Structure formats: structure tokens, C-alpha cells
Amino acid sequence: MNADKKKVIAIALITAVALLGDAMLFIVLPVYWQDFGLTSIWQIGLLLSINRFIRLPVNPLVGMFYKRFQLRTGVWIALIIAIMTTAGYGLFKEFWLLLLMRILWGVSWSLLRLGGFLTVIEVTTDENRGNYVGLYNGLWGIGGLIGMLAGGLLVDQTSILFVTNLFSITGLLALPAVFYFVPISRKEEKDAGDRSKERKKWLNSYVGLILLTGTGMGFIVFGLFSSTLSTLIEETYDNNWDIAEITIGAATLAGIIQAIRWGWDPFLAPKIGKIMDSIKTPPMILLVPLFMGGVMFYVFVNVHVMAGLIISLLFFQFLSTIFVTTTDTLAASAASQTDQVKVMTAHTIVVDVGAAMGPLLAFTVIDLYGITLIYYVSGLLLITLGVTWMVYIRRSQRGTLD
């Protein structure tokens, strides 16, 4: 294994450990919100959203941080914060303290995410970028796999405090890995060609469409779908299943469905990235998750048989893997041709905007009108994005774009 690949793998796995508590919260909080000391359903949406909102002003500052300080320092700070916030989810039963934990987690994720993206761009070329982006996304997703699956299952069987303590201890054990495996900093040496690329105008119609797609991806995949899955299942899932004296509640089932995607991502995402590296028009792959994913949101609220719903949800998770890998690869490729920090900072910001709006808007609409309306709107959003990309691709192939 070459040194560049080790850097990508190391940052991805450390990010995975930091992600455990956050992933658990998305599955457990919508079901056990009263056990967290919450008094109203709107508080769920705010807690699941505030970490994304705080990242909007923080992301540019993180970009400046990585230009001035070591990458290793940023990752170490991020992991320390992640350990503290995960422990806080179990220790605090006051809404405002939980809100503070979520704000701090937002800072941690900004440091981890932008640092990871910049590392991937630094060590890749046009021939392998999709593969490395898929590898990076797939490996840090293991944190989502364990957090959602183990979090949902263990909370159903034990307690919130037990699970948060367990995940915090895991983070502590991972701290030495930061010093052993994370590079000290990004390479600062740049040739004249690199400097001229950074001076190019970075925001054009293509980058703008990528950023719009990143907003939609954050809203759908990381925001709305993740936070409302337990609620969707709870509406269809009338009775708990008992397997070997283990109760499979809505939180556990939602955790399993979410975790399956994180389980296959390390294998599927790099392969999807390789396909993108090999085809002439990589954005064409986006049309698959946009159109088919849009249809699936109409299916979710009209399937009333549990087996059918599970199959539909798993298929959407497969589409989500394609959606995330393709969008991140397009952003990284665009960044490699111009100012890396500016493009990737903008990409992380718009993804966070979408992800922040997802839970907040979803639970507000669910509280007022039910889950059907927000799912119909989400489906329409994906289909509209698909049409927009189809028009752009056709115009670019005809040479009618600037």
C-alpha cells in the first residue's frame, strides 16, 4: 500500500470513530427523545440540525486554519471535541446543554471533513480521484455503520448513558492513532501551474450546479432521510419483533437499514468512483440516483407492507451511495482545476446547509402536516435536479455553454 493511500485511510478511520455518537443520535433521538430530557418534538429537529448550521460560518475558518496549522493538530482537536460531545449526550438531560454539545460537534466535523477532502485532492489525479473519494467516503462511513447499528440496538437493550460512554471510550483509544498515522500537514510546495490554477475564476456555471447538487444531497441523504427514517418505520411498524430474546424496535430496525449502507460503502463506493474515472461524461451517473431516488420518496409513503418498505429503503440506500460518491467526486475534480480550498469549502458549506435544513424542515412539517407532504416535496426536488443536470449535459455536449 502506497503512502498516499495510507493517509486517506487513516483520516477516514479516525473520522469514523469520531462519528459514532452523532450517528447513534440520528437513530435514537427521534424515538427516545423524552429520555434525553426533551419536552417537545421541535427540539429533535433543532438538535439534529444545529451542528450543520454552526458549520456554515465555521467552515471558512477551518479552511484558514488548515492553511496556517498542522493537519494533525486539526484532527486531534476534532477527535477530542467528538469524545466530549458524545459523552455529553448521555450525561446531560437539559435541552440547552445538549444544544451546546451539538454545536461543538459541528466544529469537530468541519475540521475532520475539510481536512479529509483536502488530503484526498492532494494525493489524487484525474485517473484515480473517484476511486479515492469513494474509498474515503466508504471508510469513514464505518462510523455511521457502527453508530447506527450498535447505537440503535444497544439503546433498545441497555441505556443511552451506557452507549454514549462506550463510544466515548472508543474515541479515547483512537487518540494515539492521530499521531502515528495522520500527516503533519498538507504539502505547501506548489509549482507555477498550481498557482495559476488557484488564480482562475473558481465559480462558474458547472461549479454552481455541483454546489446546488451538494445542497440537495445534504438535504436528502444526510438531513431528511437519516433523521426521519425511524419515524417513517414507526408509522408502518406496528409490532416489535423478538429475535433470540432481543427486541427489534423501530430504532433498531432503522439502525440496521442505515447501517447496511455504511457496511457496503467501503466496497461499492470505490467501484462507483472507478466507473466515474473511466467514463467520458461522469455527471451522467448522477441521473440514476436523482430520477430513481425521486420516485422512491413517493413509494415510501404509499407502501404499507413492512417487507415492501424495507426493500424500498435498502434500494434507496444503494442510490444514496451513488449520489454521495458522484457529487463529492465532481466537487473534488472541479477543485483540482482551480482553488482547492475555496471550492471544497464552498462544497462543504452547501452540503451542510442542506443537511441542516433537512431535520429542521422535516420535523416542522411532520408536526403540522405529517410525513407524506415532506416526502413528496423531497421526491420532486430530486427529479427537478435530475432534469437540470440532463439539460446541462446536453447543452455542454452541443458546445452551447460558456
Higher pLDDT, 163 or 242: 163
Pull the grid cell for residue 379.
421526491
| 298 has pLDDT over 80 | yes
Q: For residues 235 and 366, give the distance between their C-alpha atoms in angstroms, rounded to a whole number.
A: 12
Q: What is the mean pLDDT of residues 102-117?
A: 90
The residue type of 379 is G
Contacts of 58 (CB under 8 A, 6+ apart): 106, 107, 110
- Does residue 189 fall inside a structural domain? no
- Total structural domains in the chain? 1
Contacts of 85 (CB under 8 A, 6+ apart): 21, 101, 102, 104, 105, 108
Q: For residues 287 and 338, give the distance between their C-alpha atoms in angstroms, rounded to a whole number.
A: 25
Look up residue 126 and give its DSSP letter: T
Q: For residues 280 and 399, give the distance between their C-alpha atoms in angstroms, rounded to a whole number.
A: 15
The residue type of 250 is A
Q: For residues 176 and 327, give the distance between their C-alpha atoms in angstroms, rounded to a whole number.
A: 32
What is the pLDDT confidence band of residue 247, given thresholds at 50, 70 and 90? low
23-68 pLDDT, tens digit per residue, is 888 878 888 888 898 888 889 888 987 887 888 889 889 988 887 8
Closest to 29 in 3D by CA, of 18, 41, 17, 16: 41
Whether the CA torsion 216, 221, 223, 229 is positive or negative: it is positive
Buried b (16+ CB within 10 A) or exposed e, 84-117: bbbbbbbebeebeebbebbbbbbbbbbbbbbbbb
Look up residue 283 and give its DSSP letter: G
Q: For residues 96 and 36, give the distance between their C-alpha atoms in angstroms, rounded to a whole number.
A: 11
- Does residue 188 fall inside a structural domain? no
- Does residue 190 fall inside a structural domain? no
170-197 pLDDT, tens digit per residue, is 999 989 888 887 767 654 444 444 554 4
Residue 60 structural domain: 3-182+202-397
- Does residue 233 fall inside a structural domain? yes
What is the pLDDT confidence band of residue 205, given thresholds at 50, 70 and 90? confident
Buried b (16+ CB within 10 A) or exposed e, 14-50: bbbbbbbbbbbbbbbbbbbbeebebeeeebbbbbbbb
- Does residue 193 fall inside a structural domain? no
Q: For residues 363 and 45, give the distance between their C-alpha atoms in angstroms, rounded to a whole number.
A: 6
| 114 has pLDDT over 80 | yes
Residue located via cell numbers 470513530 = 17
Higher pLDDT, 204 or 400: 204
- Does residue 269 fall inside a structural domain? yes
Contacts of 387 (CB under 8 A, 6+ apart): none
Q: For residues 139 and 88, give the distance between their C-alpha atoms in angstroms, rounded to a whole number.
A: 25
Alpha-helix residue ranges (DSSP H) falling in 124-203: 129-157, 160-181, 192-199
- Does residue 402 fall inside a structural domain? no
Closest to 240 in 3D by CA, of 171, 324, 306, 162: 306
Q: For residues 12 and 119, give the distance between their C-alpha atoms in angstroms, rounded to a whole number.
A: 10
pTM above 0.75?
yes
Instruction: Indicate the SS3 state at residue 246.
Output: strand
- Does residue 196 fall inside a structural domain? no
Q: Mean pLDDT over all residues of the chain? A: 84
Question: Any idea what the CATH number is for the domain that residue 368 is in?
Answer: 1.20.1250.20
Q: For residues 19 and 89, give the distance between their C-alpha atoms in angstroms, rounded to a whole number.
A: 13
H or E element that contains 324: helix 306-336
